[in-house]
């Protein structure tokens, strides 16, 4: 298999912007002007952490890999609701309002409930150092803080008809100017099979690096599914629904041939436009081999026994 140098890879958003160029041309000049003016520049107002994050950077994950620098974790982000420029997400999301915040958990459950974010923060939580592997070919090691999703699902009691979990990000184009861009189906949505959602590694994240989650990382509540590509880790969640049909994620809707429902990190199944065999760990020179299930195979491979991972990518 021929490897494509990373410099030749078109970032996913540019590619889709090109593909959707006709849609964009259909906009009126006034609408185009509004889109162009929609991304305000804000000063980042980082909350003062109790522990300086740099004091925590010397730690490692269970493979002995060092944490990615705090500056990169909070300064190089994907959050298309704000901007597709990774280095500007922090500034563009600085004034995003995340309080008050409610999360609806509904669908095929015995006890549908609307939780205030404070109720979710009260669920027994812990720090988890996870690798995040973006589908674009870079990765980070991030110390999240949060609770396994199964602790929340236990409170609402999924019925026997529930087969999947669907997650949805806030829809608020005034605050999230990216949602005015027509080439994606907003709000951002993601999904997991119920057994994936119940797995203890599946974390609902409320903090990072010893502090509450900053806006750019998906405040006040985001998902972390460490054996899947980063795009599954949906940010700023307002709804979690138990459903009986496989949810369609924003990425599946945008390009079904490129982004499947499973999105398990797999060095043997390439993206149609680039190799997934290796990755650039942010802060390191050179590239690393990508590990099957992002290094979590011992924990999760059994979820996929008998599943053709080329077909169900
Ligand atoms: N709502 C929403 N969630 C999202 C995204 C997004 O654009 N919008 N980007 C995803 C992608 S592609 C990645 S790699 C991770 C990045 O998380 P981080 O910025 O906290 O590292 O967030 C994921 N969650
Ligand atoms: Mo990503």
> How many whole angstroms from 300 Cα to the centroid of ligand 1?
22
Ligand 1 proximity of 233 Cβ (cutoff 6 Å): yes
- Mean pLDDT (whole number) for 154-159: 98
CATH number, domain containing residue 235: 3.90.420.10
Ligand 1 proximity of 234 Cβ (cutoff 6 Å): yes
Q: Which residue minimizes the CA distance to atom 8 of ligand 1?
A: 79
Residue 49 confidence class, pLDDT cut points 50, 70, 90: low
Domain of residue 77: give its range.
Answer: 8-303
pLDDT surpasses 50 at 194: yes
pLDDT surpasses 90 at 227: yes
Q: Which residue minimizes the CA distance to atom 1 of ligand 1?
A: 235
Answer yes or no: is 1 within a domain: no
Q: Which residue minimizes the CA distance to atom 11 of ligand 1?
A: 231
Answer yes or no: is 55 within a domain: yes
Ligand closest to the CA atom of residue 136:
2
Answer yes or no: is 310 within a domain: no
Answer yes or no: is 155 within a domain: yes
Answer yes or no: is 156 within a domain: yes
Residue 276 confidence class, pLDDT cut points 50, 70, 90: very high
> How many whole angstroms from 79 Cα to the centroid of ligand 1?
5
Answer yes or no: is 313 within a domain: no
Q: Which residue minimizes the CA distance to atom 21 of ligand 1?
A: 77
> How many whole angstroms from 29 Cα to the centroid of ligand 1?
30
For residue 73, the ligand 1 atom closest to its alpha carbon is 21
pLDDT surpasses 80 at 186: yes
Domain count, the chain: 1
SS (H, E, C) the chain: CCCCCHHHCCCHHHHHHHHCHHHHHCCCHHHHHHHHCCCCCCCCCCCCCCCCHHHHCCCECCCCCECCCHHHHCCCCCECCCECCHHHHHHHCCCCCCCCCEEEEEECECCCEEEEHHHHHCCCCEEEEEEEECCCCEEEEEEEEEEEHHHHHHHHCECCCCCEEEEEECCCCCCCHHHHCCCCCCCCEEEEEHHHHHCCCCEEEEEECCEECCHHHCCCCEEECCCECHHHCCCCEEEEEEECCCCCCHHHHHCCCCCCCCCECCCCCCECCECCCEEEECCCCCCEECCHHHHCHHHHHHHHCCCCCCCCC
> How many whole angstroms from 194 Cα to the centroid of ligand 2?
22
Answer yes or no: is 2 within a domain: no
Answer yes or no: is 145 within a domain: yes
**pTM of the model as a whole:** 0.87
Ligand 1 proximity of 169 Cβ (cutoff 6 Å): yes
């Amino acid at each position: 298999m021929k490897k494509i140098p990373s410099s030749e890879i078109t970032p996913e958003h540019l590619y889709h912007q090109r593909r959707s160029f006709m849609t964009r041309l259909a906009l009126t000049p006034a609408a185009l002007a509004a889109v162009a003016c929609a991304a305000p520049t804000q000063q980042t107002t980082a909350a003062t952490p109790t522990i300086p994050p740099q004091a925590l950077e010397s730690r490692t994950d269970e493979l002995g890999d060092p944490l990615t620098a705090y500056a990169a974790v909070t300064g190089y982000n994907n959050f298309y609701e704000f901007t597709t420029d990774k280095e500007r997400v922090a500034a563009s999301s600085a004034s995003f309002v995340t309080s008050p915040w409610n999360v609806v958990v509904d669908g095929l459950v015995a006890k549908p409930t609307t939780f205030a974010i404070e109720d979710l923060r009260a669920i027994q939580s812990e720090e988890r150092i996870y690798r995040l592997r973006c589908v674009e070919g870079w990765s980070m090691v991030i110390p999240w803080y949060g609770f396994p999703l199964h602790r929340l699902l236990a409170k609402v009691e999924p019925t026997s008809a529930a087969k999947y979990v669907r997650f949805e990000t806030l829809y608020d184009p005034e605050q999230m100017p990216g949602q005015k861009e027509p080439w994606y189906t907003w709000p951002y949505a993601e999904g997991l099979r119920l057994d994936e959602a119940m797995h203890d590694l599946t974390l609902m994240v409320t903090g990072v690096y010893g502090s509450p989650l900053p806006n750019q990382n998906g405040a006040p509540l985001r998902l972390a599914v460490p054996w899947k590509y980063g795009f599954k880790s949906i940010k700023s969640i307002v709804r979690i629904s138990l459903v009986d049909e496989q949810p369609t994620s924003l990425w599946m809707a945008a390009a079904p041939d490129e982004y499947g429902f499973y999105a398990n990190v797999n060095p043997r199944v390439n993206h149609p436009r680039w190799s997934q065999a290796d990755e650039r760990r942010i802060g390191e020179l050179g590239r690393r081999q990508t590990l099957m299930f992002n290094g979590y195979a011992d924990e999760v491979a059994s979820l996929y026994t008998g599943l053709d991972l080329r077909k169900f990518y």
